[in-house]
Structure 1
Amino acid sequence: MTASQLKIDSSTDGVVLVSLAGDWTLQNSIPSPEGALSAAAAEKRRLAFETGALAEWDSALLIFLANLFALCRRDGIPVDQSGLPEGVRKLMALASPENQRSGVTHGSARPPFLERVANKAIGVVGGVKEVLSFIGEVTVAFGRMLRGKADFRRLDLALTLQETGAQALGIVTLISLLVGVILAFVAAIQLKMFGAQIYVADVVGIGIVRVMGAVMTGVIMSGRTGAAFAAQLGTMQVNEEIDALQTLGLSPIEYLVLPRMLALMLMMPLLCVYSDLMGVLGGMLVGVGLLNLGVLEYIAETQKALNLTHFLVGLTHCFVFGILVAVAGCLRGIQCDRSASAVGYAATSAVVTAIVSIVVATAIITLSCQVLGI
């Protein structure tokens, strides 16, 4: 092992040449960067490097250069890194302060208004293209699955079914029950004025089964499952696990996205039926406990108010919501940048995107049913 050597030549006008020779490894004693700094600081000269005699190097060289560059930034001394090995330059670029805070500008002037508008428009167009491309890839993956050619683990699908189904029953029970109670209270205030308390069963039954049960289930799954999907895939993106799958020849869409979308598409209608039951039960608690209605009377009125069409409309809502929640969560996870803060942003963005999509889809389906007379 050759000792690490540092030679400083300031004979060239305007340049202090730092020559590195020998082995710059942790096993050797590394020189201090103060000598090179003092020679350059004397006349504010530019630092340059010569590494023709450099042998082996490891993080010891990087630590030396990082300390030297930090001192040069402090004293305003320019540095020319072209003489360093390419691997060293890349590692130092990754460790530079400019790359430590992604998306944060330091003292840069605000761009003009038209430029900001143009950047926003370009970003929106790019986002739409990404969404359409993702939907197309998912559609192709579903087609391959129907032909029995999709490459994903059935165990992952089973685990995701459990996570999105059985493990969500607790929160769905609580929210749906309370929504049914709230609807019954709101209806009872008005109906008691006319002595028509029995029609609380109609209001709660139709409201829960047709729309509210599906909407509340979709919102719950957006915050619970959609955010989890985005965080899981975002963390895999940060850890470069998705890149590893592509390197191994596996499609991330089939291997990661397809099981999650299938699980939500299968479980959301079942959760919707369970949510409807809990919502009607919540309304019955109010009707029986506060409005002095009989249990059999309330159930009979609910049966009279509901029909198969209401159930089908509610199930249609929930099936669509399952697709939207899965697409939003997986898409934001795949789009996640490679930083810890980006994972949190992806989870937040997935929830917002899913809830907005659910509200828009609800409006579209409701208007369509109104037009069709359903």
Structure 2
Amino acid sequence: MKQANAKAPDQTGAQSCTITASRQQQQLEIAVSGDWVLDKQLPTLDVVLAQIESDKAISSLRFSTAALGRWDSMLVTELIKLIDCASRKGITVDKTSLPASIQGLLTLVSAVPERVDAHRGQMHTSWSRALVVSTGKAIQHSKEMLIFVGEMVVSTFATIRGQAHFRRQDLWLYIQECGPSALPIVTLISLLVGLILAFVGAVQLSLFGAQIYIANLVSLGMTREMGGLMTAIIMSGRTGAAYAAQIGTMHVNSEIDALKTMNLDPMAFLVLPRMLALIIIMPLLCLYADLMGIIGGGFVTVNFFDVSLTEYLDRTASAVKMKDFIIGFVKCSVFGILIALSGCMRGMQCGRSASAVGDAGTSAVVTAIVFIVVADSVMTIICNRLGI
């Protein structure tokens, strides 16, 4: 705003004040009638609004647009603020002097009021209500998982009987994607896990001069637990999320609906090949991870402790039995089923938006890791109780 011109009182004793406003090459004169006196230095719009709110003598508000040139939405925004302020105070607003286009915009604003629920309010929920809601969601997720597993079992038997369309070339493609393509990251993680196991074990074993048993610790730890577990976690983040994103994108693009229209079972066509690929490739990746972990542990043991390579290999061969490898293979096969189920289930449950695809991928990883940890704990307890 540039200036304010105060006029002398009229015959009725009321005072008149003219405000000249400038907003980005737009000028607007606002004439306010009533017993209201402004300072010679014209205030900003916020100050004018504050004075209108505080002064009870103002009776009417009109606009003089004689010097109005080009205008934009900023002018309409400020007019809305002034009109709203005047309406709250019960002040009469004369809009007849405004251009027809501005009057039309103001009419449209008043004709379409703001939605009451447009702004999301902060909700305070008690812990008991949150517990009930969480329990209900858990029950609903359990039902959805059971339904998905049931459909998967039915599709598997239908495929075995030759009643479902199963593409063998897709199976080999998925085996290549989740097998050889995953070797670099599995190699890196397995080597590091072997190094960590060797260093952690050596800290305690060196206190008793038993560094030779580092080989036992690393080999048994990798074959029975860490090899399969770390491989499963890697594959859940790499392959499980990819499965959820692929199927979720197909769901968004209505490709799954198209498969149903062509009388193709999506479970047999999309889910079963991915699950079989993980079941086949996970034990092989587990064996490879065991080998890399033992190599990493041997590197630490031979180079940093008083143990020769021959002694390390001899202790490894005497410590690891065939049952240890079998336990690791069985665990990895179960992990493969859980990863495929989590990824494909979240993909099939995906909503029809881009953000839903990302949520499906995140949920697939979280679900797979939870299932993996729980299944590994259960199988470890079973092996312990059976004495194997």
Q: Does 1:75 align with 2:88?
A: no
Per-residue deviation at 1:194? Answer: 1.0
Following superposition, the deviation at residue 150 of structure 1 comes to 3.0
Counting only pairs closer than 5 Å after superposition, residues 58-137 of structure 1 correspond to structure 2 as 74-77=109-112, 106-107=119-120, 110=123, 113=126, 117-137=131-151
- Alpha-carbon distance, 1:146 to partner: 2.6
Deviations 1:158-217 (A, max 9, x none): 110000101001100100011001000001111111111110000000000001000000
Quick one: distance in 2 between partners of 1:156 and 1:316?
24
Q: Which residue of 1 aligns with 2:346?
A: 332
Q: CA deviation at 1:152?
A: 2.1
Greater CA radius of gyration, 1 or 2?
2
Q: Does 1:233 align with 2:247?
A: yes
Question: Which of 200, 217, 221 is equivalent to 2:214?
Answer: 200
Distance 1:332 1:73 in 2: 45
Counterpart in the other structure of 2:376: 362
Change (3 A) 1:287 1:258: same
| Residue in structure 2 matched with residue 211 of structure 1 by the alignment | 225
Paired residue secondary structure (1:183)? helix
Letter of the structure 2 residue corresponding to residue 139 of structure 1: V
**Partner of residue 184, structure 1:** 198
Identity %: 53
Measured in 2, the distance between the counterparts of 1:117 and 1:108 equals 21
User: Is 1:224 matched up with 2:238?
Assistant: yes
Correspondence list, 1:151-300, <5 A: 151-300=165-314
Query: 1:142/1:192 Cα in 2 relative to 1: closer, same or farther (>3 Å)?
Result: same
Change (3 A) 1:346 1:295: same
Which amino acid counterpart does residue 139 of structure 2 have in structure 1?
V
Q: CA deviation at 1:231?
A: 0.6
Distance 1:332 1:105 in 2: 30
- Cα RMSD after superposing both structures: 2.4
| C-alpha distance 155-105 of structure 1, shift in aligned 2 (>3 A) | farther
C-alpha separation between the residues in 1 aligned to 2:293 and 2:131?
46
Asked if 1:149 is matched to 2:184, the reply is: no
SS at match of 1:361: helix
How far has the Cα of 1:154 moved from its partner?
A: 1.4
Task: Look up the equivalent residue of 1:245 and give its one-letter code.
Answer: L
Structure 1 residues 155 and 74, CA gap change in structure 2 (3 angstroms):
farther
Cα distance, 1:262 vs structure 2: 0.5
Alpha-carbon distance change, 74 to 220 in structure 1, aligned in 2, over 3 angstroms: farther
Could you list the runs of 5+ residues in structure 1 that have no partner in the other structure? 1-69, 79-96, 98-103
Assess, with a 3 A threshold, how the Cα gap between structure 1 residues 291 and 229 changes in structure 2: closer, same or farther: same
Query: Does the C-alpha gap of structure 1 residues 275 and 109 become closer, same or farther in structure 2, counting only changes over 3 Å?
Result: closer
Moved more, 111-120 or 332-341: 111-120
Is the contact between residue 164 and residue 265 of structure 2 (CA under 8 Å) also seen in structure 1? no
Q: Distance in 2 between matches of 1:346 and 1:331?
A: 9
2: CA distance, partners of 1:310 / 1:195: 27
TM-aligned CA distance change 1:111 to 1:182, over 3 Å = closer
- TM-score with structure 1 setting the length: 0.71
Counterpart secondary structure, 1:217 = helix
Q: Matched residue of 2:351: which SS?
A: coil
Say which of 310, 329, 335 aligns to 1:321.
335
Contact 2:159 2:166 in 1 (8 A): no
